[in-house]
Amino acid sequence: MGEPGPSSGQQLGLYVHIPFCARRCDYCAFATWVGLHHLAGDYTDACLAQLSRAYDSGLGPAATVFFGGGTPSQLPGDELVRLLDAVRREEAAEVTVECNPEDVTVELLSTYASAGVTRISLGVQSLAPQVLTSLGRRHRPETVPRAVGAIGEVGFSSFSVDLIYGARGETDEDWVDTLEGVLSLDPPPPHVSAYALQAEPGTALWRDPERHPDDDVQARRYEIADEVLEAAGLPWYEISNWSRPGHECRHNQNYWRQGEYLGVGCAAHSHLGGRRFWNVRAPERYIAAVAADQSPVAGEERLDFDHRLLESLELAVRTREGVDSSALPDDEMLTGLVARDDDRVVLTLRGRLLANEVACRLRAPARVGFGGAGAIAPDLARATVSRN
Amino acid sequence: MEGVVAPEVIRNFSIISHVDHGKSTLSDRILELTYAVDPREMRAQYLDSMDIERERGITIKAQNVRVHWRDYVLQLIDTPGHVDFGYEVSRSLAACEGVVLLVDASQGIEAQTLANCYLALEHDLEIVAALNKIDLPAADPDRYADEIERVLGLPRDQILRISAKTGAGVVELLDEVVRRIPPPKGDPQDPLRALLFDSYYDQYRGVVSAVRVVDGTMRSGARLRFLQTGATHDVEEVGIRTPAMVEVDELGPGEVGYLIAGIKDVGEARVGETVTEVAHPATKPLEGYQNPKPMVFCGIYPIDGDEFPDLRDALEKLKLNDSSVTYEPETSAALGFGFRCGFLGLLHMEIVRERLEREFGLSLIATAPSVEYIAHLTNGGILQVDNPSAMPEPQFIDHIEEPLLKLTILGPAEYTGTIMDLCQTRRGRMQKMEYLSSDRVELIYELPLAEVVLDFFDVLKSRTKGYASLDYEPAGTQTDNLVKVDVLLAGQPVDAFSTIVHRSKADDYGRKMTAKLRELIPRQLFDVPIQAAIGGRIVARETVKAKRKDVLAKCYGGDITRKRKLLEKQKEGKKRMKSIGRVEIPQEAFISALTLEE
């Protein structure tokens, strides 16, 4: 702890990690645990303790709050509310909770809404039953319309649906059906996140190369997603995110603008005062560390000025706002991957699929004259340098 | 200092045997029995001084040692233990009056033993045969004594039975050497003629040569003339090895010792050289001198291009004590700056490469070994080509000559068919087949060297479960229907993959190489055609499809550090890529393509 609050004018995000899951999905490499629900009370206490120490050190109010996981909806509603109540928020703060469809009830959502939750992110993943099974998900497609109906009934400013494509057993038709099915839900989601299934080391999926997704298949599915979502009035605003204008996730946008955030809970990452740091991974260790009045931080890094500039570009290039054209020198290899418009460079559809190739060619330009998205507040950059 | 030793008490001999048949162990026992080496300093395989030699259990550089046995002086002259160094073996044998033929009593004669034995017979050397390892349970000395008698005509009752490991029979062997091997002849008053049969470079003393005085006397301080190079050198020191270096005033007829004469480069003290005295010169050189000719060639490149100057320095230094290596600078689009190197054979190539990496700390990549072709051009010109990519296009070539080998293979009779198949598919022509016994066969083939250099040994070994042994000697050249196959990436030839093969194998090579490269070349931002071509004609084609996806799906608060590191790694990787036109290829892909077995 002991981190200074963000400099004035800088938006602060607050992420709360809820590591509990009813079941571990095959592909999941996140810090999640099954069968630890009995820790919910202690865990919430530990999060509250970390939070209160942060406020003691001068942390300001959050513009956005995000409960992610794991499965936040697996935490009893009153525990989540106990946590949220302790979070200092700006007026009109965006507060998102990730939910699994099978956990969603009108009652739970009402509890959330009355505590100030403004946005639900629903983990739908797919509407094809065999794909859900292949992903190791426990919900059935039928639970989705019911969950979305509950969201509509309780009423939130916005909500989003998470999808995953490229699992074995999924066809292009399944994928189109999922996208169209999601768009015809009542109410239709104003925001969709669609992720290429990735085989991460350490997961069950990783150990089964037969089921590893095929890049070409996933590229095609991505193109399908982009076409269908765009046509439905949800243009892309980040590689894996599409939304109706005005429904972008502000919390995530803060990440991509290299903004500051505090991560509360085990395995949560923070970015404050030019320092990136992350908490211990296991919930028990996190609880123990906080209870013993020790720092739960497991690791950290500080980048020098040039690397921070480059990082800001690598984040920004993934968004529709793009980067300053001086950051991406003309290169024959980039033909068809980027579109240049005045002083901005933005990824094309093909470029989004090859974003790493584009990112590898980014150059931090001269230290003046690049603003807009991806810019670092000059005072923050100075602070970083002086701290090194 | 010792004076000249009377020739009558000298016995000069070599031990010839197959790898692993116990030559070094026998040498160790002899040193022990004759008290030449303090037992406390005794280490296994005392005479094999290079690390590589001790590890591989082979002798590369010959060593010689003088010991006293009863009233006699024994000169043990070590010979290189591999067919690549056949010429050096022949010069070592030329320094002897006899040999001890050492045969493993559980394995019998191997091809190389046979070849060296024939060489000894050609030199009219006395052969004292001994079956070694009689202490092994698998030893069958009766059987292999019969074999030696039948194959080499040495009477079986004269064949000794020893165990170099336990020492059994070694005393009798030394007595037999004294009794049977004739003493050298020669008049100390004649003009000096000494055979130089080995040289190595010592960083403090310069070149140290092993010499055998044939006629006359080699004196400390004398001015010498080397008859083949014509150069003169002053003797700085002559001496003998016991095995420690002991300086003497002079070496008389029949004596073996070392010579230091202020020479800086072993290339000036070549094996086979005849040394005489300027003041009282002999005019006729000793017979049998040859300039060792490289037979196998490959490109050697530093993996890190910045190490090119280090590689050049290392080759210069290595050449100081291995004059048979040749090297010429060469540039490859695929591999950067390197050298086209020539070697006596495949083992020699391997050893040199290993020494470069080990002694000079370099990381190297070598192209596939090649041989030297003679291209007869349509305009009447003749071109020697040791790098396939330098072979002119087919329309300029009338015909191509390639070097041939005479290959002697010994193996169990049950593998006769297997060995014949292998030789046949390698364009071999059988010269002779003979059963050494009911279950052992000798096959002699004439075979293009190019068919041998790639993997012939490995394939022979694996197909005969290691039981076949092999020896070869150059056997002139032949003209055959040879073509150059080029490999093109996105239309650009990749010089490192050009090869010269028989026309009947060209399509197959092309298909295999293109298929292999398709697996190894990472997908690019555009389609990459991989083609194999003879001149302008494409014989095989594959395509590496453009990659469509290279992106991380998620990039949220907890992913940023990891993502940045992944990108850094990807950028690092790009820096190490070699570019062929627009195609970026990791060095590892080239290495894999160049080292993959068929």
- Highest averaged pLDDT of the listed ranges A14-28, A173-187, B186-200, B254-268: A173-187
CB contact (8 A) between residue B552 and residue A311: no
Among the partner-chain residues A215, A268, A315, the one whose CB lies closest to the CB of B555 is A315
Residue B46 pLDDT > 70, yes or no? Answer: no
Mean pLDDT confidence for B48-76: 69
Asked if pLDDT for residue A376 goes beyond 50, the answer is no
CATH T-level fold of A305-379 = Arc Repressor Mutant, subunit A (1.10.10)
CA–CA separation, A262 vs A268, rounded Å?
Answer: 8
Q: What is the dihedral of CA A332, A337, A341, A343, to 10 degrees?
A: -70
- Other Cβ atoms less than 10 A from the Cβ of B234: the count is 12
Å between B387 CA and nearest CA of chain A: 33
User: With an 8 Å Cβ cutoff, is A7 touching chain B?
Assistant: no
Distance from CA of B585 to the nearest CA of A (A): 15
- In which band, very low, low, confident or very high, does the pLDDT at A381 lie, cut at 50, 70 and 90? very low
Chain B residues in contact with A255 by the CB 8 A cut-off are 555-557, 560
Would you call A196 and B551 a contact, using CB atoms and an 8 Å cutoff? yes
pLDDT at A221: 98
Q: Across the interface, do A195 and B549 touch by the CB < 8 Å criterion?
A: no
**CB contacts, 8 Å: B525 with chain A:** 333, 337, 354, 357
Reported confidence tier of residue B55, pLDDT bands at 50, 70, 90: low
One-letter amino acid identity for B200?
Y
Q: What is the rounded average pLDDT for all residues in chain A?
A: 91
Name which of A356, A362, A363 to mutate to probe chain B: the one with the most chain B Cβ atoms within 10 A of its Cβ.
A356
Query: CB contact, 8 Å: B554 with chain A?
Result: yes
CATH number of A12-255: 3.40.50.620, 1.10.390.10, 1.10.10.10, 3.20.20.70? Answer: 3.20.20.70
- A269 touching B (Cβ < 8 Å): yes
Which of chain B's residues have a Cβ under 8 Å away from the Cβ of A256?
555
Residue to mutate among A125, A215, A249, with most B CBs inside 10 A, is: A215
For the residues B1-9, what does the mean pLDDT come to? 75
CB–CB of A354 and B548 under 8 A? yes
CB B231 within 8 A of CB B239: no
pLDDT at position A1: 39
Give the pLDDT confidence of B132-170 residue by residue, as tens digits: 999 999 999 999 999 999 888 899 999 999 999 999 999
B496, B515, B509: which is closest to B336 by C-alpha? B496
3-state secondary structure at position B492: strand
**Does residue B379 register a pLDDT over 90?**
yes
Q: Smallest CA–CA separation between B565 and chain A, in Å?
A: 10
pLDDT at res. B103? 94
Least confident of A203-217, A372-386, B86-100: A372-386
Helix (H, G, I), strand (E, B) or coil at A279: strand
Average pLDDT estimate for A87-96: 97
Contact criterion met (CB < 8 Å) for B560 and A276: yes
Q: Tell whether B543 is within 8 A of chain A (Cβ).
A: no
Q: Is B278 on the interface with A (CB under 8 A)?
A: no
Q: Which residue of A has its CA nearest to B558?
A: A269
Q: What percent of chain A has pLDDT over 90?
A: 80
Q: What is the pTM for the complete model shown?
A: 0.70
DSSP state of B451: H
* pLDDT tops 50 at residue B58: no
CB B567 to CB A261 under 8 A? no
SS3 at position B299: strand
Check CB contact under 8 Å for A359 and B555. Answer: no
- The partner residue sitting opposite B553, judged by closest CB among A198, A276, A301, is A198
Locate the domains of chain A by residue range.
12-255, 305-379
3-state SS of B47-65 is CCCCHHHHHHCCCCCCCEE
Task: Nearest by CB to B564, from A263, A267, A314: name it.
Answer: A314
* C-beta separation of A206 from A214 below 8 A: no
Nearest to A67 by CA among A92, A38, A44: A44
pLDDT at position A32 is 83
Instruction: State whether residue B120 is helix, strand or coil.
Output: helix
Q: Is the pLDDT of residue A385 over 50?
A: no
Q: Is B243 left (phi over 0), alpha (psi -120 to 50) or beta?
A: alpha
- Mean pLDDT over residues B499-511, rounded? 93
Percent of chain B with pLDDT over 90: 60
Band (pLDDT 50/70/90 cuts) for residue B544 is very high
CB atoms < 10 A from the CB of B595, how many?
A: 10
Beta carbons of A196 and B553 less than 8 Å apart? yes
Judged by CB atoms within 8 Å, which residues 227-246 of A form the interface with B?
Answer: 238-240
Strands A236-238 and B250-251: unpaired
**pLDDT for res A34:** 87
Shortest CB distance from A360 goes to which of B545, B549, B571? B571
The ipTM value here is 0.89
Nearest-by-CA chain A residue for B546: A216
Kindly state the average pLDDT of the residues A257-262. Answer: 97
Token digits of residue B190 = 């004649």
Interface contact B552-A315, CB threshold 8 A: no
Would you say B292 and B324 are in contact if contact means Cβ atoms under 8 Å apart?
yes
B571 reaches A (C-beta below 8 A) = yes
Confidence (pLDDT) at B320: 77
Band (B596; pLDDT cuts 50, 70, 90): low
CB contact under 8 A, B555 and A352: no
Residue A276: CB atoms within 10 A of its CB come to: 20
Q: Which two tokens stand for residue B220?
A: 């400390």
Q: Are strands A158-165 and A236-238 parallel, antiparallel or unpaired?
A: unpaired
Rounded to the nearest 5°, which phi and psi values hold at B528? -120, 105
Interface of A with B in 191-230 (CB under 8 A): 195-196, 198, 215-216, 218-220, 222
Which residues are CB-neighbours of B462 under 8 A, at least 6 positions away?
Answer: none
Residue B110 phi/psi, 5-degree rounding, is -115, 165
DSSP structural state of residue B182: P
Does A13 contact B at CB distance below 8 Å?
A: yes
- Per residue in A345-365, pLDDT (tens digit) is 999 999 999 999 999 999 986
